[in-house]
Amino acid sequence: MHTHSTTRTEHAGRLHLNENPLGASPDAVAAAELELRNINRYPDPAHTDLVGAIARHHLVGEDRVAVGNGTDEIILMLALARRADPRPAAVTGLTFRSYPKSLRAVGVPYLELPPRGYRVDTDLLVDGIARGLGLVFVCNPHNPTGSVLSAREVQALCAAARRHDALVVFDEAYAEYVPAEEFASAMRQAATGRAVCVMRTFSKAYGLGALRVGYLVGDPDVVARVNALQGAFPFHVNRFAQAAAVSALADRDFLDITRRRNQAARALLCHGLDDLDVDHVPSSTNFVLVRLPGIASRVAEALRRSTGTLVRDTADMGLIDHLRVSVGTPEQMSAFLHDLGRELDRAQGHQAGAGRP
Ligand SMILES: Cc1ncc(COP(=O)(O)O)c(C=O)c1O
């Protein structure tokens, strides 16, 4: 008997935004709570403590760090900062939509370069940079496929950007989920020299999505331009977000637990998908891309209607026939697999029925 729908909490079915199901570091929550006593005071427009903490965390100069109201805001600032550059920008196809949305919003022309299978095609990007692209957004680890670039691919992109005076921005929103030995972060390249930036966020592994805070590390000229634009919106990162983010960075235990539990729950999800005979893409992150040819959108809608479970239909990213499922708690994964199995049975019954004369 299906019992989950009666026992679920309001958040149990949220598998569509890649949030941290464990919450956030207790230290970060306490820091935000403490700031409530200053609720009448504007936040620090220079984000002094947070910029310092990020610079120390990544061993970079403070002139290489900018913070934003989520990385979404930083993406918009980067697009604005490049408006005077006559060269087009590029995004990779089948990925996070904020890059094209921001570029379009500020009128920067851009190309959408196709992926190779489920992976970013770095050869195409390197070639594009050599042919005159000014700004390239690269999502690594890649949303929605969960794949990561090799060190050689990251290095080739950085070298091309430096050679041709372009800017490559690596969106590493999910970096904290990948064990360090398996992830070629561009943070090392962003720590020195020009033409390379990395974005990170507190919304995913750090579990602070509600507070809206992300950051940029890299080329100091780009950081200075982003900071100058943000002067028009000086209190964009609120004081709760600034205080919580500083504490979150210091709580390595919470990140370790997050990473370990995510790996265990992801394995449970993937084994369950195998048992249901459902194709999925190997993932290094806190989400798994599931392939459901012909029925993906219908299954997503049926899950929403029957149990309130939300998963991300990737059709609007250009990837039809797929759903992106966030890794939740083991209980959430079991409930999801149970519900998915039922919807697949229904969809198959429907297809068999439709095929009858
Ligand atoms: C690849 C990627 N970048 C950035 C973000 C947005 O992060 P933030 O909450 O910092 O705006 C997301 C959120 O879904 C994401 O998937």
The whole-number pLDDT of residue 217 equals 99
Residue nearest to atom 14 of ligand 1 (CA): 17
The whole-number pLDDT of residue 274 equals 98
Q: Which CATH class is domain 253-355?
A: alpha beta
The whole-number pLDDT of residue 44 equals 98
The count of C-alpha atoms lying within 13 angstroms of the C-alpha of 224, restricted to the half-sphere facing its C-beta, is 6
How do the domains of the chain map onto residue ranges? 26-250, 253-355
Angle value at C-alpha 306, between 301 and 308, nearest 5 degrees: 75
The whole-number pLDDT of residue 2 equals 38
Amino acid identity of 231? G
How far is it, in rounded angstroms, from Cα 139 to Cα 214?
Answer: 15
pLDDT tens track for 39-92: 999 999 999 999 999 999 999 999 999 999 999 999 999 999 999 899 999 999
The whole-number pLDDT of residue 352 equals 62
The whole-number pLDDT of residue 323 equals 98
189 CB within 6 A, ligand 1: no
The whole-number pLDDT of residue 353 equals 58
216 CB within 6 A, ligand 1: no
The whole-number pLDDT of residue 262 equals 98
Q: Does the predicted model carry a pTM greater than 0.85?
A: yes
95 CB within 6 A, ligand 1: no
Helix (H) or strand (E) holding 87: none
The whole-number pLDDT of residue 12 equals 76
The whole-number pLDDT of residue 351 equals 65
The whole-number pLDDT of residue 148 equals 96
The whole-number pLDDT of residue 11 equals 77
Angle value at C-alpha 183, between 20 and 201, nearest 5 degrees: 40
Residues of the chain with pLDDT under 70: 1-10, 350-357
The count of C-alpha atoms lying within 13 angstroms of the C-alpha of 352, restricted to the half-sphere facing its C-beta, is 6
How far is it, in rounded angstroms, from Cα 250 to Cα 106?
Answer: 36
172 CB within 6 A, ligand 1: no
What's 98's DSSP letter?
Answer: H
CA 121 – ligand 1 centroid, Å: 21
143 CB within 6 A, ligand 1: yes
The count of C-alpha atoms lying within 13 angstroms of the C-alpha of 210, restricted to the half-sphere facing its C-beta, is 8
Q: What would the CATH number be for the domain defined by 26-250?
A: 3.40.640.10
